[in-house]
Amino acid sequence: MNQAAPITKATSDLGRHVLDGLGRTPKRLSSMYFYDDRGSELFQQIMALPEYYPTRTEFALLTTHRAAIGEALRPATGEPFFLLELGAGDGLKTKILLRYLLDSGARFTYVPVDISAAALEGLTASLRAELPGLQVEPVVADYTAALALMAARPGRKAVLFLGSNIGNFLPPDRLAFLRQLTGPLTADDRLLIGFDLQKNPRVIRAAYDDAAGVTAAFNLNLLARLNQELGADFDLDQWQHYTDYDPLSGAVRSFVVSARAQTVRFAALDLSVDFAAWEVIHTENSYKFTGPGIADLAAEAGLRVEHFFTDEQAYFADVVLAPLA
């Protein structure tokens, strides 16, 4: 791999990431770069696939247990509190809890947190239209900065991290992330985190390698994004999507695979990268959990499991965690 030119503002974080990730052995790229406009569109399609159970399972779980979850998050005293959501997205699942809390007379302020001001503007507009009585205070910041900022405000903080996002962290990074979240919290605060659970290995693998090939297109779109934004010349016909699931570690790992020996050039970086035939780029991890494993992780991060909510098939869990006193 040969680098000659410095990265400009135009290439910024993505260019730096490519230089770092494709210089490693094995090569890797982060799943955080999946979500350009086309990637977001493909992920919406993935969520509607029959094989992809996580989104619809958590939606049903929250619908079934919304009252119990809402009561676990709000203070028993009835005092006002803050409901912070890390990475709220379109808020579709969160609105289940928001509607319950509003209907039950809870006094709270919803604080969606994201580094994208545009994403928060869209969410805030939809909430004003659908839930006009809701108090919303969007915060444009990274998660740890937002939590530190809110820690100075009086009242309980109930922090949401829904979906199966916690599973995208490698184990050491996951623990470090949870410790960062826990640091600013008091014993009265709460976390609600979504965990995809271990289950039939074939069910899990199919969710990441669907018959229609939408997940394959989603993974390969990362290369298309590099072509568009960094002037790369990936020939997508010479790359394949591959995923596997290890039931011992609970890890789903996704890759793009070079179908022949080839050299890919990045015009914006003045960079050439050689790939051997069948060499892989590791693009994503998605870990699956067990109940005891969640409890152990929580304890290492200075938390305890207060409530464990799951669906009828025990496919997914939304877990309420409290900081250790």
Asked if residue 44 lies in contact with residue 56, where contact means CB atoms within 8 angstroms, the answer is no
106 and 72 Cβ atoms separated by less than 8 Å:
no
DSSP state of 218: H
DSSP secondary structure, 256-279, as one string: EEESS-EEEEEGGGTEEEEE-TT-
Distance, CA of 100 to chain centre: 24
Mapped onto helix, strand or coil, the DSSP state of residue 38 is helix
Inside any domain, residue 45 = no
The helix-helix angle for 37-47 and 214-230 (nearest 10°) equals 170
Confidence of residue 183 (pLDDT cuts 50, 70, 90): very high
For residue 148, what are the domain limits?
Answer: 54-199+289-323
Residue 7 CB partners (closer than 8 Å, separation 6+): 15, 16, 19, 269
CATH number at residue 107: 3.40.50.150
In this structure, the answer to whether residues 65 and 30 fall within a common structural domain is no
pLDDT recorded at residue 5: 45
Confidence band for 144, pLDDT divided at 50, 70 and 90: confident
Are 193 and 214 members of one domain? no
For the chain, what is the mean pLDDT?
93
> How far is the first Cα of the chain from the last one, in angstroms, to the nearest whole number?
51
Residues 67, 84, single domain; the answer is: yes
Rounded mean pLDDT, 222-250: 97
> Do 183 and 219 sit in the same domain of this protein?
no
Number of helices followed by number of strands (H, E) in the chain: 10, 15
Q: What is the pLDDT of residue 40?
A: 85
Domain presence at residue 44: no
Checking if the pLDDT of 247 tops 70, the result is yes
Mean pLDDT over residues 169-177, rounded? Answer: 95
In a domain, 279, yes or no: yes
Residue 170: is its pLDDT beyond 90? yes
Predicted pLDDT of residue 221? 96
In the sheet with 262-266, reading across from the earlier edge strand, the strands are 2-3, 271-275, 262-266
Higher-pLDDT residue of 6, 253:
253
What pLDDT is stored for residue 10 in this prediction? 46
Are both 156 and 301 inside the same structural domain? yes
Percent of the chain whose predicted confidence (pLDDT) is above 70? 97
pLDDT at 6 over 80: no
Same domain, 153 and 64: yes
User: For residues 286 and 272, is the Cβ–Cβ distance under 8 A?
Assistant: no
Q: What is the pLDDT of residues 17-60, one digit of tens each?
A: 999 999 999 999 999 899 888 998 999 899 999 999 999 999 99
Cβ–Cβ under 8 Å, residues 271 and 1: yes
Of 279, 288, 273, residue with least CA distance to 242: 279
The predicted model gives 155-178 an average pLDDT of 95
| In a domain? residue 140 | yes
Distance CA 115, CA 2 (A): 33
Q: What is the pTM of this model?
A: 0.90
- Cα separation values, 117 from 87, 114, 123, 138, 257, Å: 12, 7, 10, 9, 35
Side chain identity, residue 165: N
Q: Are 81 and 156 in contact (CB under 8 A)?
A: yes
Count of beta carbons in the 10 Å neighbourhood of residue 33: 19
pLDDT at 7 over 60: no
Q: Are residues 91 and 159 in the same domain?
A: yes
User: Can you tell me the distance from the alpha carbon of 124 to that of 260, in angstroms, rounded to the nearest whole number?
Assistant: 47
- pLDDT tens track for 97-136: 999 999 999 999 999 998 878 888 989 999 999 999 999 9
Question: Which residue type occupies 170?
Answer: L
- Please give the pLDDT value at position 244: 95
What pLDDT shows up at residue 136? Answer: 96
Report the C-alpha gap between 325 and 322 in whole angstroms. 9
Spatial CB neighbours of 72, under 8 Å, sequence gap ≥ 6: 190, 192, 306, 307, 320
Residues 184 and 107 in one domain: yes
Q: Are residues 296 and 173 in the same domain?
A: yes
- Overall domain count for the chain: 2
Same domain, 64 and 182: yes
Q: Are residues 283 and 302 in the same domain?
A: no
Residue bearing tokens 């490519």: 18
Closest by Cα among 161, 17, 21, 142 to 83: 161
Report the pLDDT averaged over residues 253-260. Answer: 98
Tell me: the pLDDT tens digits for 52-84? 999 999 999 999 999 999 999 999 999 999 999
Grouping H, G, I as helix, E, B as strand and the rest as coil, residue 255 is strand
pLDDT confidence tier of residue 8, bands split at 50, 70 and 90: low
Residue 72 lies in a domain: yes
Q: Which amino acid is at 154?
A: P
Please check whether residue 43 lies inside any domain of the structure. no
Q: For position 138, what pLDDT does the model report?
A: 93
Tokens of 67: 């009252």
Residues 210 and 263 in one domain: yes
